Amino acid sequence: MYKIQIKNTFLFLVLVPTFLFVCSSFVGNNKGNKGLKVGKSAPMSDVKLQGIDNSTKSLNDLKLENGLLVVFSCNTCPFVVGNDHFAGWEVQYNALNTLALDKKVGMVLINSNEAKRANEDSFEAMKLHASEKGYTMPYLVDTDSKMADAFGAKTTPHVYLFDKNMKLVYVGSIDNTWDTKRTEELTYLKNSLETLSKGEKIKEKETTPRGCSIKRK
């Protein structure tokens, strides 16, 4: 009996941390962290990042009349590219860009996966992935994850919507389609874009970001 208890305790100590590690790799929690808060200005907004078209752009360069949508993304995360159980959010990227442009809001994707820069999230891999998926928005490389760190971005994807003054008005997830137990579809980002374009206050300003952890070095 005593040996069984020791064995069970050992398994608990080994498996629980492993389980928590896996969960933390796929779920972000924006509440209570040190990330950018609603109402704050976009950090590093004048810093130029290299795009897959070989030009350099800053957030202020990409901002339109009503603001800018910033999405931290990558080439590999199942929450971005999809898997057998979830289509992945990148299938919505071009439609979101069309909607944003219609609302006079710019959109940009930023790849901060510095720890994968030599492999799946290299600059050349970014170019190839964007071409294969037909991205219609700029896709920029965040060297050393500096912009992700400045934002406090946690996941791919992690979205930040700024108004015309580059003040944060919405942060978190695109929608709740990842949740297989959902009883209704909650389109957080689309709702925020619609509300922002009308000059009204966004009611749900913050949601929990869902995705893979940004792979920092």
pLDDT band at 133 (very low <50, low <70, confident <90, very high): very high
CB 114 within 8 A of CB 216: yes
CATH of domain 2-213: 3.40.30.10
Cis bond leading into 157, ω under 30°?
yes
Cα–Cα distances in Å, from 137 out to 13, 23, 130, 178? 46, 30, 9, 23
3-state secondary structure 26-91: HECCCCCCCCCCCCCECCCCCCCEEECCCCEECHHHHCECCEEEEEEECCCCHHHHCCCCCCCHHH
Mean pLDDT over the full length of the chain: 88
In the chain, pLDDT over 90 holds for what percent of residues?
82
pLDDT at 180: 85
Strand order in the sheet with 49-51: 56-57, 49-51, 139-141, 105-111, 67-73, 158-162, 168-172
pLDDT value at residue 30: 37
- How do residues 59-111 score in pLDDT, each as one tens digit? 999 999 999 999 999 999 999 999 988 999 999 999 999 999 999 999 999 99
Given its phi and psi angles, is residue 181 left (phi above 0), alpha (psi -120 to 50 degrees) or beta? alpha
pLDDT surpassing 70 at residue 27:
no
- The answer, yes or no, to whether residue 2 has pLDDT greater than 60, is no
23 confidence band (pLDDT: 50, 70, 90): very low
Per 3-state DSSP, what percentage of the chain is helix, strand, and coil (rounded to 5)? 35, 20, 45
Residues 34 and 147: their CA atoms lie apart, in Å, by 14
Residue 28's pLDDT band (boundaries 50, 70, 90)? very low
| pLDDT for 32 beyond 80 | no
For the chain, what percent of residues have pLDDT higher than 70? 85
Question: Can you give the pTM of this predicted structure?
Answer: 0.85
User: What is the predicted pLDDT for the residue at 54?
Assistant: 94
Number of residues written out for the chain: 217
pLDDT of res. 34 = 73
170 or 23: which carries more pLDDT confidence? 170
